[in-house]
Structure 1
């Protein structure tokens, strides 16, 4: 497969140029997640849903997450740099990104936060020996499994962080330093002939290898994100999974909206004042 330099003009999901961009897919993904959120909320508030129908909804939502990462993986093959610096996310979201997405260990902080809130809300029922059925009613066995998965995920996360740091340092390896010097010399010498073309090929080749490394690390990070999400959901009962997926969707959608709003406000404030 031919690799390309980082640019913003690549295609997504193996589609031909002009048919699709990941930014367009991401906007549809947000709409799909909003629809999923409404279905999850409806089920969470209903007392008439069967366990089977709840499980089917959870499976459907998880299928949407799997498809999201499948398309993202295909997109990364065309342009890993763009996927690591996504223009379709707000600056607020950018500030909290870890290797092109959410940090996998955040899934546990989300679970603990929502569990604590629901535990507090349902404390009266729990003290009376009644089950709330939500995340405030996690069993000791569930908590032990979550803790074990959390520790394992943090170890994998640390390994990828170190791998990314090591790869980032290669931008200053001897070959890159030498190439940057050669290009500077050609620029100052005014060479626009075959020498420049040969160096351009060397530069392209060096950048391709860097992007291939980024693609591999991004792929591993996304695999860990999806794997962590699936394993957390597997630990929960179907209705508990519904509450967890509600919290995940709400957090993602609302932070995206807040970030977009802040970006729009910042852009508006930098506009020059018109003088009559």
Structure 2
């Protein structure tokens, strides 16, 4: 594990990895939008299939990079300094819950159905090519997605329980005794070894969670059509990028107000 002198450098590498991924997200969003427009004109799914495959592989590579960096220092991934407080409040094992991928599908499906009902009731001619295809999920597709949802939730619960057990162990020997017997706690060799062991365990859990995230994404794509897969991935990436931006704007507003209040008080 990282020493205090090197932890900052490792965190910077982790931060760089994250922003490299966010830059790739923006590229993926543009490519997905272009491919969907092209597909609506040409009705050719091959380009979409290839793009979806590339995006999933990029996600796999990102998970692998995180794994390598987490073995050097894992704590940063559970409360990243490069995230807003809003984003960090939504994290599960250093990322999003895999089950949330499926909730995105349900949300898209419901939204598109509502749009179609509104158009029908108000006698509006909807442009079929622009309305999205998630609302056309078949009963078989929905059954498979629901089955996957249940399995993913069970796997999430197992990982969460492992994490809870590890957190409880932190209060166990030798850390608790050291904290109790000293007014000013200085982490000695025994404590450092215990904390290193904890971080190593959390790195293993994050790797399990990342594996589940990639696995869930792949299984969803196997169930839906290429167009539906592209719509789903586009929605998920837009949500990720939007949450990052919304969190940043909210914090800028709050800290800006706080700074303005402090300046007024001093004045």
TM-score for the superposition, normalised by structure 1 = 0.84
Partner in structure 2 of residue 4 of structure 1: 2
Correspondence for 2:56 among 37, 54, 62 = 62
> Which of 4, 19, 35 matches 1:43?
35
Alignment correspondent of 2:240: 252
CA offsets 1:162-211 (integer angstroms, 9 cap, x no match)? 11111100111132212223443xx59xxxxxxx8xx7111211111111
CA-CA distance at 1:8 after TM superposition = 4.1
Alpha-carbon distance, 1:59 to partner:
0.9
Deviates more, 1:107-116 or 1:220-229: 220-229
Separation of aligned partners in 2, 1:42 and 1:67: 23
| Aligned partner of residue 78 in structure 1, secondary structure | coil
Q: Distance in 1 between matches of 2:202 and 2:48?
A: 38
Q: State yes or no: 1:24 paired with 2:16.
A: yes
Say if 1:49 and 1:65 are closer, same or farther in 2 by CA, change over 3 A.
Answer: farther
Cα gap change, 1:63/1:209 in structure 2, threshold over 3 Å: closer, same or farther? same
SS in structure 1 of the partner of residue 263 of structure 2: coil
Corresponding position of 1:85: 79
Instruction: Give the drift of 1:153.
Output: 0.5
Q: Quote the residue 1:202 is aligned against.
A: 190
Q: How does 1:96-135 map to 2 (within 5 A)?
A: 96-122=90-116, 134-135=133-134
Q: Distance in 1 between matches of 2:251 and 2:15?
A: 17
2:112/2:134 contact within 8 Å kept: yes
Deviations 1:142-179 (A, max 9, x none): 11110110000011111111111111001111322122
Q: Cα distance, 1:25 vs. partner? A: 2.1
CA contact (8 A) 1:75 1:83 kept: no
Point out the structure with the larger helix share. 2
TM-superposed CA distance for 1:48, in Å, is: 1.7
Aligned residues: 253
Q: Distance in 2 between matches of 1:263 and 1:133?
A: 34
Query: 1:235 — aligned with what?
Result: 223
**In the TM superposition, what is the alpha-carbon distance from 1:133 to its structure 2 partner?**
6.7
* Cα distance in structure 1, aligned partners of 2:82 and 2:173: 34
Contact 1:43 1:49 in 2 (8 A): no
Range with greater deviation from structure 2 (57-66 or 236-245):
57-66
Distance in 2 (alpha carbons) for counterparts of 1:178 and 1:50: 66
Q: Mark the CA change 1:5 to 1:183 in structure 2 (over 3 Å): closer, same or farther.
A: farther
- SS of aligned partner of 1:57: helix
Gaps of 5+ in 1: 13-19, 189-195
